[in-house]
Structure 1
Amino acid sequence: MASPQGTIEVTKSNFVEKSNDFIKHLPNASFIAIDEEMTGISLPPNEVTPLSKEDSPAHRYSALKRVPERYSIIQLGISLFEQKSVTETAERDAASFIVRRYKFTMFPGADPNLSREITMHPSAMHFLRENNMSFDTWVQDGIPFCTKFNAQKVVERFLERHQRRIKAAPIMSPNNSQRLVLSRDADKQFHARCITRLREWLDAPLPTPAPTQEGVSLLLPRCNSFLRRSLYEAIQRDYPYLVVETENEQIRVWRLTDDERANRNQRLLEEDFNKYLTESVGVYRIFLALTKACRGEPIKNDLENAILAENATVATADFVPTAESPISKIPLVVHNGLMDLLFLMSHFHSPILPGDWVECKDLIHSYFPVIYDTKVLSTQYCAESPSRSHLQAVYEDTLESYPEWQLKNSDEEAEQQAHDAAFDAYMTGVSFCGLTYTIHNQCEVLPTSSNARFKLWEVSEKLEYPRWLFGRNKLHFHLSPFTIDLETHCDPLGRRISALSTFRVSNINRDITTRDILDCVRGLTDSNQRAIHVDLFWVNDTVFLVGARITSLQQSEDQSEEIFRESGKVLRCALEGRFCNGETIELLVPPARPEKTNSIWNLWGLLGSNDSPLSERPAKRRRTE
């Protein structure tokens, strides 16, 4: 996989140029991988209560949403993977990619109406500092960001200024009843002197040639805002052909020919365009381009055109929608990416996330119709789940399986490390490519024709096999047996187990060990003599979950349901034979959503770490197969 430019560092000083480069290459991407670094990913201890590992995503959501509503994105890493060629072999399809890596450093802008406050968690800051985060760049040259609503307001003002400028409309047009009336003699005398000076200047002949391409100007004496407004009104009323502007508490008056006016308007337009993108809209531009590519949507209106246009001339031209032709949706790839997606929603959609979990899932799905989570692919859809599933481990395993995908220009790779958002996004994309080919090959899914190329990222969202074979639109849910499903309103159990055959065993003796449980369920088979494999999940020292797990990844939904039901009956009989001294055995039912909860959990795993605080682990091993 070639990365021709290395990581493209994008800051406020080069934002317009580099964001144009990103928008230019975005439509050619086969898939897009993202990663983020944040100012915090867990709430302070005094604001949290212990969680139950049986909690469903809906149960935890009211506490979970408070994290992205409170903290901010520092870095947004995006890698565009563009497939260039495919060479088919007997074993697998070997893909060649051009990868473009972008790192957008984000810092709230100065406008309090567009920005959000920065809240920093000390442990997050220490973590990022240890991983060479440049806080000087973040504060001094970070790119601002805003929500969709605020971006639209900024663009509307920009377009209105442009229209007013080209029509030579006065900036202030008060009617007679609103005009200022000077009462102090000193103010009246100052006003009269300025108007007299202006008339003398207008009566004088123009210099030939003009000193600049933008005509000649007169700078009136410095005065307060009250007097400046009085002068504005008088000049605009009596000399509407003049251009009036404020400059360092003074008024500058311009005399322009038609050509000079056009040159000046073009300069101001370009400056205004660059300023509103750099100082106000900022990274929302990237979010808009990203979501439109993921949704397969063209530019729809003047506002979107003004944000995504490559220059000021295109931004202000009359927008003509193109004939709508089908555009392929580009999949978004994350690793353990629930928090990344929630942060995107809180930064670019609304700072307050929906109060209902189903509404939140629908919101994410509306922006990103096709998502793949490499944490889910590696732990639930590969024939053998890895012992380590954090990002760097999955990436290293992928390179061992596909050494030809090692990053070209390896000198640069030697300088990269995990927890840099751009390189983490790159590792996520490489892992996704390797995992999809591994799953494709292990399931022996044949191409539709002898010369067809297997490319998961070109599969229609309507087809089912990317869902049951690769887990389309399913997200990993941290420290839980559940998996988040963005395509349905309920969230199933993950790790290839089902509520049809998963049991909650409680009130067990604290002396019971993992080995005791595994001995109890070892060697079980169904009526077709298929071995029943199990997944074990410790909730605490007296409660565990155990479920029958399907190891074949080629079962249809109906076949899987039948297998789960039969395996559940066999598994329950085995459990009842072993735990018959007051223990409770029941099918796992997600707990009802509480009216109010403050539960939260450590989220360091979302930055790629596979470690969890000892205080959150039961005394026994959490999971053994």
Structure 2
Amino acid sequence: MDVTKDNFKSALSTFETHLKDARFVSIDVEMTGKPMVRKHAVFFALSIPIILPLFFSFYFQLYYFIQNLLFSFLHLGLWLDERSKGFSFDSFQTKYEKIKLAAENFQIIQVGVSLFEWIPNNSDSSDKDSENSSSERACSLDHIDSSLPFKDISSKNKRKKRKILNSSRKQKHNIDKKTNSVSSSGYYETRVYNFFIYPALKSGPFKKEKNFMLINSSVDFLTENAFDFNKWIYQGIPYLNFSDLEKLKKEKLSFITNPRLHARISDDSKDFYESTKLKIDGLANAPEQTEIFIDAENTYKMRLIHQIVDDIPCLYSVGQPGSVKIIKTNQVTKKKLIEEYITKLEKDLEKHKGFSKVIELLSECNKPIIGHNCFTDFVYLYSHFCRPLPNTLAEFKNEIHNLFPEIYDTKFIFENSLCLKSIAVSSTLEDLNKSLKQSKGFDTSILLNARSSKYTSDRFHEAGFDSFLTGKLFIKALPNLADSLNGFLNKLFMFKSFPSFVHITEADDETNRPLAIELCSSQEINLKFVQDIVSEVCSQDEYFIYTVSLNLCYVCTKIPSHDTINKIYLQLVKNGDKDWSVSQHDQ
């Protein structure tokens, strides 16, 4: 079902209810751009704020200098140029940094979450709520084999204490032998939630400005796959991430518990200030009057009202839309009012978490999370709905493991399982789905709940459908994995990498990663000349040249030899053209 801000409250309630009963959860994310974009996006992004009148002012030279400095920085850094592509010779740390930059600049627009609940055939359907009544019964999609028992996929790793803690976190939610089910013993009922996400300026009483980028290739791709941009912008669910919530709470509490700095009274506000002070002094000196409201057309005037009240111990002020309420009180009553304000603030913050509440629930429920080629998805999810991304991959792995202790990546499973690797020509969702539809012998039922019935037909690249298909592929893979499932736990596929996965709970072994020398020039690089220079110290079976553009290439070792790469580096520095810039990549 599509979930927007209009039906988010009711959908969240049913989501929370059925999440408790889910055996596992699968996810997918769509965004306005991904890593490895082209540098013309930089020009588009920076050309928007150019202010032509500055050309005629003495600030123009400064503006021109800053703009070119930004261009140079972005071009020579890791962002939005040829270097932003993912290379096989990048370290995992560098790959993470590239994805991190993309996640911080592009926007999540859709998140798909599918809940897979195991229903034994002898269960009493009368115990189900109205969503599962006979008139809304799940519709059968297909059948899949399960001739082998499903393994217990609960993590054996110890959980660390987290700020977000729930008693259910202590329970284990296993896919175990009782779901070793041919259709005679039960089926998986699936509920698919397709969340539209939009970072609106306002989330309830809270405001947050946010800049984000779109890349034309992603917009074209989304358009080709019938993405509804109107629904995204007009009905997308707003959110405040965990870090926003903590910061807002701290700011609001500081506002009422600590002395506030007095704002300067501007010349055009002096009359307002004086008339307001007379009204407030009148309240403080009037024996029978207990409260007044003073209109304030902007936050600056509200601040002036509050600072007048701060200097009068017997008064307390509360901001409201378009006005400030001032109450005559004493210290005991004032303390009570502050406590009431804090309680209301906490309720408001909880109410306006928006989609971040879904991430919080997923973290608390301690269910296995299934994704497909999902490392980038988790970087984006953490960046948008949790906290600022840490600088190092090691820190990120620790943070994401704290949130989701059990993750399985179906792309990594199908790429690396000996019995599954040959099923499809590639491990994309489309190819895997097509190949498994044609396979025979599957008879474990997967059924879609009626509210998710639109996914009985393919809707590739809609986050909801892709999350459903990811979970479906996971179920289909399980019988073929036998005793090897634990070997895939918390290993997320990484494209063009050695090894081909990031291990969330262990250090990554990158000893087989190729090494490289970066060679760039202001002129077109003569690759034959480069080859002749390198061939003086290495045989052709020891290296290869990776061309990125006419003025950028990498000379890479075929085997990870530091001696070889050092010889290549010294040879290029010694005999190369004067305008060449030679550096060891990712050392």
Any conservation in 1 of the 2:419–2:480 contact (CA below 8 Å)?
Answer: no
Q: Does 1:369 align with 2:405?
A: yes
CA spacing shift, 1:590–1:83, aligned 2, 3 Å: farther
Give a deviation string over 1:509-530, Cα, whole Å, max 9, x none: xxxxxxxxxxxxxxxxxxxxxx
The sequence identity of aligned pairs, in percent, is: 21
CA distance in 1: counterparts of 2:12 and 2:419, whole angstroms: 40
Match of residue 422 from structure 1:
464
CA distance in 2: counterparts of 1:144 and 1:334, whole angstroms: 24
CA distance in 1: counterparts of 2:304 and 2:242, whole angstroms: 37
RMSD: 5.1
Identify which of 477, 483, 490 aligns with 1:435. 477
1:395 Cα offset (Å): 3.3
Any conservation in 2 of the 1:382–1:438 contact (CA below 8 Å)?
Answer: no
CA spacing shift, 1:135–1:587, aligned 2, 3 Å: closer
Identify which of 276, 279, 285 aligns with 1:194. 279
CA distance in 2: counterparts of 1:84 and 1:37, whole angstroms: 30
Give a deviation string over 1:279-338, Cα, whole Å, max 9, x none: 5x43332223222333xxxxxxxxxxxxxxxxxxxxxxxxxxxxxxxxxxx211111112
Any conservation in 1 of the 2:424–2:431 contact (CA below 8 Å)?
Answer: no
Give a deviation string over 1:391-411, Cα, whole Å, max 9, x none: 133234445534732546595
Give a deviation string over 1:82-132, Cα, whole Å, max 9, x none: 222279987763352232222222222427995642111111111111212
Identify which of 173, 183, 197 aligns with 1:106. 197
> Counterpart of 1:12 in 2: which secondary structure?
coil
1:43 Cα offset (Å): 3.3
Match of residue 457 from structure 1:
none
1:135 Cα offset (Å): 1.4
1:344 Cα offset (Å): 2.0
Residue type of the partner of 1:477? M
CA distance in 1: counterparts of 2:217 and 2:87, whole angstroms: 24
Any conservation in 1 of the 2:370–2:410 contact (CA below 8 Å)?
Answer: yes
Match of residue 181 from structure 2:
93
Any conservation in 2 of the 1:54–1:590 contact (CA below 8 Å)?
Answer: no
Q: Does 1:287 align with 2:359?
A: yes
CA spacing shift, 1:52–1:154, aligned 2, 3 Å: closer
Any conservation in 1 of the 2:187–2:445 contact (CA below 8 Å)?
Answer: no
CA spacing shift, 1:199–1:541, aligned 2, 3 Å: closer
CA distance in 2: counterparts of 1:190 and 1:125, whole angstroms: 54
CA distance in 2: counterparts of 1:134 and 1:93, whole angstroms: 38
1:383-532 equivalences under 5 Å are 383-384=419-420, 385-388=422-425, 389-399=427-437, 400=439, 401-402=442-443, 404-405=445-446, 407=448, 409=450, 412-414=454-456, 417-440=459-482, 465-468=484-487, 471-480=488-497, 482-486=499-503, 487-491=505-509
Match of residue 133 from structure 1:
227
Any conservation in 2 of the 1:107–1:144 contact (CA below 8 Å)?
Answer: yes
1:476 Cα offset (Å): 2.0
Residue type of the partner of 1:26? L
CA distance in 2: counterparts of 1:89 and 1:221, whole angstroms: 69
CA spacing shift, 1:266–1:26, aligned 2, 3 Å: farther
CA distance in 2: counterparts of 1:596 and 1:364, whole angstroms: 31
CA spacing shift, 1:265–1:15, aligned 2, 3 Å: farther
CA distance in 2: counterparts of 1:542 and 1:225, whole angstroms: 60
Answer with 387-396 or 417-426: which moved more: 387-396
1:316-335 equivalences under 5 Å are 330-335=367-372
> Counterpart of 1:45 in 2: which secondary structure?
coil
1:373 Cα offset (Å): 1.1
Q: Does 1:70 align with 2:88?
A: no
Any conservation in 2 of the 1:81–1:97 contact (CA below 8 Å)?
Answer: yes
Any conservation in 1 of the 2:181–2:187 contact (CA below 8 Å)?
Answer: no
Any conservation in 2 of the 1:147–1:350 contact (CA below 8 Å)?
Answer: yes
Any conservation in 1 of the 2:23–2:118 contact (CA below 8 Å)?
Answer: yes
Match of residue 342 from structure 1:
379
CA spacing shift, 1:381–1:90, aligned 2, 3 Å: closer
> Counterpart of 1:436 in 2: which secondary structure?
helix
* Structure 1: gaps (5+ residues): 1-6, 165-169, 205-215, 295-329, 446-464, 494-498, 503-537, 544-585, 599-625
Give a deviation string over 1:10-48, Cα, whole Å, max 9, x none: 333444443344334333321111100011113333301
Any conservation in 2 of the 1:93–1:437 contact (CA below 8 Å)?
Answer: no
1:149 Cα offset (Å): 2.8
CA distance in 1: counterparts of 2:214 and 2:510, whole angstroms: 34
Residue type of the partner of 2:411? K
1:340 Cα offset (Å): 0.9
Residue type of the partner of 1:387? A
CA spacing shift, 1:222–1:197, aligned 2, 3 Å: farther
Give a deviation string over 1:47-72, Cα, whole Å, max 9, x none: 01476546564564444443323322
CA spacing shift, 1:218–1:425, aligned 2, 3 Å: same
Give a deviation string over 1:234-281, Cα, whole Å, max 9, x none: 6677794x764455654445699xxxx9xx9999889856753465x4
CA distance in 2: counterparts of 1:135 and 1:230, whole angstroms: 42
Any conservation in 2 of the 1:12–1:143 contact (CA below 8 Å)?
Answer: yes
Q: TM-score, normalised by structure 2?
A: 0.57
Which of the pair has more CA radius of gyration? Answer: 1
Match of residue 28 from structure 1:
21
Q: TM-score, normalised by structure 1?
A: 0.54
1:75 Cα offset (Å): 1.0
Higher relative contact order (CA 8 A, sep 6+): 2
CA distance in 2: counterparts of 1:403 and 1:185, whole angstroms: 76
CA spacing shift, 1:491–1:147, aligned 2, 3 Å: farther
CA distance in 1: counterparts of 2:374 and 2:237, whole angstroms: 23
Match of residue 81 from structure 1:
116
Give a deviation string over 1:525-574, Cα, whole Å, max 9, x none: xxxxxxxxxxxxx999999xxxxxxxxxxxxxxxxxxxxxxxxxxxxxxx
Match of residue 12 from structure 1:
5
